[in-house]
C-alpha cells in the first residue's frame, strides 16, 4: 500500500462492544514483565552510593591503631566512651560506600580483630577513621 492509500484509508475505530482501553490502564498490562521488582530502584541507589574502595595510607593506619589502643585502655579502666567511627562497607570487590557510625564502645576484640559498639560489630579492616568523643 502506498502512503497516499494509507492516508485515504479510514481510521479503524473500536466497536462499542470493545471500547478502547484508557492509556493509564494500558501501562499496567506491562508491569508483570519487570523481571525483578525493585531492581531499578536498587540500581539507581547503587549508582549514587557506590565508590571505589578506600585505601588507607600508612599514617592513617597508625592513627587508627593509636585510637584503638587508647580506646582499649579506657575500656579496660571501666569507661564506656562514645566514639565516632568511619567505615567502608564493601558491596562488591573494590566498590562500596563510606558511612559514619556513632555509639558507645563496648569492646576492642583483638582476637577477632573487631571493634564492638552497642549493637554493632565492626571488623578492623572496615575502619577508615576512629575518633573518641570527649565527655
Tens-place pLDDT, residues 45-101: 655 567 898 899 999 999 999 999 999 999 999 999 999 999 998 888 888 888 999
Q: Which residues of 88-114 are buried (b: 16+ CB within 10 A; e: fewer)?
A: beeeeeeebbeeeeeeebeebeeeeeb
Q: How far apart, in Å, are the Cα atoms of 36 and each of 30, 31, 43, 91, 96?
A: 13, 11, 11, 19, 22
Q: Are 68 and 85 in contact (CB under 8 A)?
A: no
In this prediction, residue 64 carries a pLDDT of 94
Residue 117 backbone phi and psi in degrees, to 5:
-105, 175
pLDDT digits (tens, 9 = 90+) for 14-27: 677 877 778 777 77
Q: Is the pLDDT of residue 2 over 70?
A: yes
Q: What's the confidence (pLDDT) of residue 25?
A: 77
Amino acid at each position: 500500500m502506498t502512503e497516499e492509500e494509507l492516508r485515504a484509508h479510514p481510521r479503524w475505530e473500536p466497536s462499542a462492544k470493545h471500547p478502547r482501553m484508557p492509556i493509564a490502564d494500558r501501562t499496567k498490562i506491562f508491569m508483570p514483565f519487570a523481571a525483578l521488582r525493585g531492581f531499578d530502584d536498587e540500581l539507581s541507589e547503587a549508582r549514587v552510593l557506590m565508590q571505589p574502595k578506600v585505601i588507607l595510607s600508612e599514617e592513617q593506619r597508625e592513627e587508627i591503631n593509636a585510637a584503638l589502643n587508647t580506646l582499649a585502655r579506657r575500656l579496660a579502666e571501666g569507661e564506656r566512651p562514645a566514639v565516632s567511627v568511619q567505615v567502608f562497607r564493601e558491596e562488591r570487590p573494590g566498590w562500596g560506600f563510606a558511612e559514619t557510625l556513632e555509639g558507645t564502645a563496648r569492646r576492642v576484640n583483638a582476637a577477632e580483630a573487631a571493634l564492638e559498639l552497642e549493637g554493632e560489630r565492626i571488623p578492623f579492616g572496615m575502619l577508615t577513621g576512629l575518633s573518641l568523643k570527649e565527655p
